[in-house]
Amino acid sequence: MTDETPNNGLRTQRWLRRAVTLPYLWLLLFFLAPFLIILKISVADPIVAQPPFTPLLEWGAQGLAGLKATFENYAYLFVDGYYGIIYLSSLKMAAIGTLLCLLLGYPMAYYIARQPPRRRQILLMAVILPFWISFLLRVYAWIGLLNNRGVINEFLLWLGVIDHPLPMLYNDFAVYLGIVYSYLPFMILPLYANLERHDHDLLDAAADLGARRWQGFIDVTLPLSVPGIIGGCLLVFIPAVGEFTIPALLGGADTLMIGRVLWDEFFINRDWPVASAVSVVLLLLLVVPILWFQRLQRREQELGR
């Protein structure tokens, strides 16, 4: 409030601005640059060469001779219904997986948030613990469990509950299981962070004003946890749409997910331009939810102050 603070404040601001540029540098280097490369490839023509696509800039004797870009790859994605179906199917599978995560994660986050502080720490640790093992390894482990000769089937056969092994692997069921298993912590953590901050007086106040416990939950807890729900859902949904490992390892031949198609285009068809176009379209599809998520986070931070 004194006369010298504006000066001081300006200096801090300048320093801050410099510090803020660091993450931007990071993004530039590791996000924007790769993205521009992909974008460049997506407008090239596939050729049998190394690398397997035509260059964007054509060089003549006098330097730059011209720009060669084609949108045929994108047109191909739209004309060939196959890709549309796969995009839709990916979105559907990610959405259902997200919903399952929410239905499972909400009660868990709610329960953890209501434990005494010491137990909360232990339970949160338990949620995070699986991250200590490689993601790939954990997904592989499910193969051993879900296999026709896997632990679960062998056990059920031994019990005599079933005569034939249940087909639990290499189908959509296994993919959903994999998504829920892998992404559940991403749902629980933001939900927990939200629910843990709720003021218990609010529920008492609702009860005092005539609300039964479930009404208090519907009227107070649920609406106040919407930011946590959205945050958790986006954290699960966004990576789940482009998920490759889970459908590749646990999915069947008929499991249509864009991540696998990408892999096939890149490594089996060696059609890098089409593969790049596929990923650019995927990114555009996800830009809307990502921006929404960022806006939400900003608002949460403002409220948190």
Residues that bind other proteins (CB under 8 A): 199, 201-202, 204-212, 215, 219-220, 223-224
Question: What is d(CA 73, CA 259) in angstroms, rounded to the nearest whole number?
Answer: 17
If DSSP codes are grouped into helix, strand and coil, which group holds residue 160? coil
CB of 294 to other proteins, least distance (A): 22
CB of 302 to other proteins, least distance (A): 11
Is the Cβ of residue 157 or residue 207 nearer to other proteins in the bound state?
207
Token pair belonging to 63: 């330097």
Is the Cβ of residue 4 or residue 302 nearer to other proteins in the bound state?
302
CB of 204 to other proteins, least distance (A): 6
CB of 123 to other proteins, least distance (A): 22
Question: What is d(CA 299, CA 46) in angstroms, rounded to the nearest whole number?
Answer: 45
CB of 224 to other proteins, least distance (A): 6
Rg, C-alpha atoms of the chain: 25
Cβ partners under 8 Å of residue 53, min gap 6: 41, 44, 45, 46, 47, 272, 273
Is the Cβ of residue 63 or residue 210 nearer to other proteins in the bound state?
210
Is the Cβ of residue 175 or residue 206 nearer to other proteins in the bound state?
206
Number of other CB atoms surrounding residue 214 within 10 Å: 8
Question: Using alpha carbons only, what angle is made at residue 280 by residues 294 and 189, rounded to the nearest 5 degrees?
Answer: 35
CB of 288 to other proteins, least distance (A): 25
Is the Cβ of residue 152 or residue 203 nearer to other proteins in the bound state?
203
Token pair belonging to 139: 């997904």
Is the Cβ of residue 14 or residue 213 nearer to other proteins in the bound state?
213
**Residue entry with tokens 């529920």:** 203
Q: Which residues pair with 67 in a beta bridge?
A: 57
Number of other CB atoms surrounding residue 232 within 10 Å: 29
- Tell me, what DSSP letter sits at residue 45? P
